[in-house]
Structure formats: C-alpha cells, structure tokens
Amino acid sequence: MAATLAASTLFTALPANTLADEPCNSPYMAKIVGQEDFVYVWTLGVEGVGDGQDKLVTIDVNPKSKNYGKVINTLSVGGRNEAHHSGLTDDRRYLWAGGLDTNKLFIFDVHTDPAKPTLHKVITDFVAKSGGVVGPHTTYALPGRMIITGLSNNQDHGGRTALVEYTNEGDYVATYWVPTDENLQGAVKSGKYADGYNYDIRALPRRNVMVTSSFTGWSNYMMDFGKMLQDKEAMKRFGNTVVIWDLHTRKPKKILDVPGAPLEIRCAWRSENNWCMTTTALTSKIWIIYEDENGEWQAKDVGDIGDPSKVPLPVDISITANDQGLWVDTFMDGSTRYYDLSDPMNPKLTYQKKIGKQVNMISQSWDGKRAYYTSSLLANWDKKGDDNEQYFKAYDWNGKELVEKFSIDFMKEKLGRAHQMRFGAYSLYASNRRTQEKQPTVAAK
C-alpha cells in the first residue's frame, strides 16, 4: 500500500492537466502529451467473418502518417471470448483485455513496437484464483496493479460479484466482494439497495476513493437482447447501486441507490471537483456521484437522456479534461450527445449527432480535439441484419460540431465487431521509437 499512498500524494499535488491523456483512463497512467499515433480496438470475432477470432486491431490515426486511416496490424487471440473491455497498465507498457464468456485475460505488449503489439501473456485461471468471479470487465490501472471488475459469479451466474486485484506482471493479489444486504462488510447502506452487483470502476486519489457501478450477470449479458427484454424475471436482474470504496484499504464505505443499471463511471479531473458521472441504461438518466459539504458521498439524478420512455440505452460516456463537457452515446438510436457541464448539477444538452445505426464506445483525446467511435455492445445485444453496422469512425471536434475524418467498415474488412479502444503513441517509448514511415501496412486477415 506504500506505493499507493506515495502516488496519491504525488497526484494530489499535480495540476489537473498533467494527470493523463484521454480522459477516460486512470489518473495514475503515463500520458500522451500530443497527437496519438494509434488506436487499439479490442474486437469480437464473428463466425464466418475472416478468421472468426477475437483480435486486437491497430489503426493508424496520425494525420501526418502515410498510413493514416488504415488498419496496420491485427493480432488474433484464438476463438471467441466475448471480447469486451481493455485497459493499460500505469506505465502503459501492457494492455490488458478481457473475455466476458471464457474469463480469459489477454495481456498485450504495446511498448516494444507500438505499431505492432504482441501477445505477452494469457491468464486462464481467473475464476479459480479469484474464488469464483466470472466476467472480467474493466481492467483499471493503480500503481503497479491492475484492478478488475467482475460481472458475475460461477455459482448462479447472477450479478453478485467482486473486484479482483493483480500485479502488473499478472500475479493474483486479492478479491474484494461487493457488499450485499447479507454482508455489508462495514459499509453504510444509504438507501434501498445493497445488491452486490458490479460493472465499472474509477479512482479519485485526492479523496482516497474508488467508485464502482453495477450492471447484470452472465445469464443476462449472454442472452439474446430481444429475448431478455421480454423476460420479466431477467429484467429484474439488473443492478441499482454505486459503491464508494476506500482506495487504500479496498474496503467498501457506502452504498448509494442509483436505480436502472448504472454503467460507465467517469470522474472529474480538476482538483476542486470531487464528483463523478454515470448514466443508467434502463432509465436513461444522468447521475452525479458527489461529495457534499459534510464530506459525505451522495447520488443525484440530474437529467434525462433523450426520451427515457423509448429506452435509447445510454452506453459509453466521457468527461472532457477540463470537466466542462460530457459525451454520452446511446446505442439504440446510434447517436452521441454533448452536454455542457458548467453546472454539473444541471447538465445541458448542446449538441447531438447520429454516428451510425448503432453506437457504443467513444474515446476522446486529452486536448478534446479528436473523438473516435466504435459500434459493438455485446455479441448477443448488437442489432440484427442491415442495422448491425460494425465500424470504427474518427472525427475532429471543433467545439461546435463533429467532422468525420475517416471510417473503417469492420465487416467489409473481415475484422468482426469493433468494441473498445485504447490509444498508443511512439512518444511514450522514446528509447525504442520508430518513424511511422518505416512501418508497412499489414493487411487484415
């Protein structure tokens, strides 16, 4: 824990604009100070499409490169694992990516040659080591550690689950079960729920806090979306909580009611802003998780996303680095929305654009000038037929509108379902930097 305490002191002292690059990542991570060179897309394999395997797809996104807008490398990992989220270690040398169905963790070396990642290690005993956690989701960097949110358990495949901690080298450290009514573990239950569900995690080192959200278990996320919507019992199996944890001790402190399946957690960057944002998938609400004047953490519904009665299904969100804006993607209508956060208690919708027939993830650059989008939610939840667009799209953002720069059709290129993105850059690894002109284009296989 000494490393955690030291890093917390360090990052509390630094100004906000030195903490990281793309603002959805951990504040403990090394940063990209300028133009990102690559976007790594963790991609779900599709039977009959290319090799049918999950893969890490590397896209050149530097406008000065001769390969700009092209896929320059693909790395298949064998089989289909329900590829979902990925996260970089604090030194950004390795990218951890999980499979929700097979419970494998794939660790990619992205520093030796950032243009051509290699598979460094595969963890296959996640369930056994963790004591029954299923569905590794968020892989989040702490000092020398990766902390992983599980979505389920191997007993009933429901939403009861835990956080699992590893070293950067891939050695298991500990499991921290999310508190429930049956075992609050010393946490204060502030409302109606203590469901033990889990989904995403973010840290606020300056407040010694981790924040986790909740979703649903394996039996739901591996079910056909249309079938699940018609299953009354399945629709009861969604989380309704956000949990506040002690960052240093990993102990749960308070359980907040946030009904409607809160998904992504994004926390403010500026030192005076002690709050995080989340959105609820089933009720289409924006919630703020904030520290009040008494130092107590609270949750408040601060706005609607579209018409909640139509369930636009908010998915990924991203707070700008200056805490002044919030991007919200809605899967069902394929749109992205920008909210003014000048008053975080009263977000104001100022811009909306349809990205595709479906949209899931957004990643924006730290300077806020570029935004990237991908399409896949879950293999069984993506739309069917012509509505099943699978893409990567790059945009410039001038503060008023998104201007498309290029698009890659992942089905046409036989890559699969484009899910989650992380950035890479030569500037992070000066000792083994290569010029982009020396990197050949690698055809997708």
Classify 233 as helix, strand or coil: helix
Give the separation between CA 4 and CA 250, rounded to whole angstroms: 11
Give the separation between CA 353 and CA 330, rounded to whole angstroms: 11
Q: What is the pLDDT of residues 318-375, one digit of tens each?
A: 999 999 999 999 999 999 999 999 999 999 999 999 999 999 999 999 999 999 999 9
The mean pLDDT value for 164-172 works out to 97
pLDDT at 301 over 80: yes
Give the separation between CA 69 and CA 407, rounded to whole angstroms: 8
Banded model confidence at residue 303, pLDDT cuts 50, 70, 90: very high
- If one compares 437 and 32, the residue with the highest pLDDT of the two is 32
Give the separation between CA 11 and CA 275, rounded to whole angstroms: 17
Q: What is the pLDDT of residues 187-199, one digit of tens each?
A: 999 999 999 999 9
Give the separation between CA 123 and CA 125, rounded to whole angstroms: 6
Give the separation between CA 106 and CA 120, rounded to whole angstroms: 8
Residue type, 275: W
Banded model confidence at residue 430, pLDDT cuts 50, 70, 90: low
Cα 72 from chain centroid? Answer: 23
Confidence (pLDDT) at 254:
98
Poorest-confidence range of 31-35, 60-64, 430-434?
Answer: 430-434
pLDDT at 437 over 60: no
Decide: residue 304, CB within 10 A, 0-12 exposed, 13-18 middle, 19+ buried.
middle
Mean pLDDT, the chain, rounded, equals 92
Confidence (pLDDT) at 31:
77
pLDDT at 12 over 90: no
Classify 205 as helix, strand or coil: helix
pLDDT at 265 over 80: yes
Banded model confidence at residue 22, pLDDT cuts 50, 70, 90: confident
The mean pLDDT value for 407-424 works out to 97
Confidence (pLDDT) at 8:
38
Q: DSSP letter string over 31-90?
A: ---S---EEEEEEE--TTSTT---EEEEEE--TTSTTTTSEEEEEE-SS---EEEEEE-T
Q: What is the pLDDT of residues 228-241, one digit of tens each?
A: 999 999 999 999 99
Residue 348: which of 315, 326, 323, 331 has the closest Cα?
Answer: 326
Confidence (pLDDT) at 111:
95
Q: What is the pLDDT of residues 111-131, one digit of tens each?
A: 999 999 999 999 999 999 999
Confidence (pLDDT) at 34:
79
pLDDT at 439 over 70: no
In the chain, % of residues over pLDDT 90? 88
Cβ within 8 Å of residue 2, ≥6 positions away: none
The mean pLDDT value for 74-102 works out to 97
pLDDT at 10 over 70: no
In the chain, % of residues over pLDDT 70? 91
| CB 329, CB 315: distance < 8 Å | yes
Confidence (pLDDT) at 110:
97
CATH of the domain spanning 2-438: 2.130.10.10
Banded model confidence at residue 438, pLDDT cuts 50, 70, 90: very low
Q: What is the pLDDT of residues 272-281, one digit of tens each?
A: 999 999 999 9
Cβ within 8 Å of residue 115, ≥6 positions away: 37, 38, 58, 60, 72, 73, 434, 436, 439
Q: Alpha helix locations (H) across 198-341?
A: 218-221, 225-229, 232-235
Domain boundaries, given as residue ranges, for the chain? 2-438
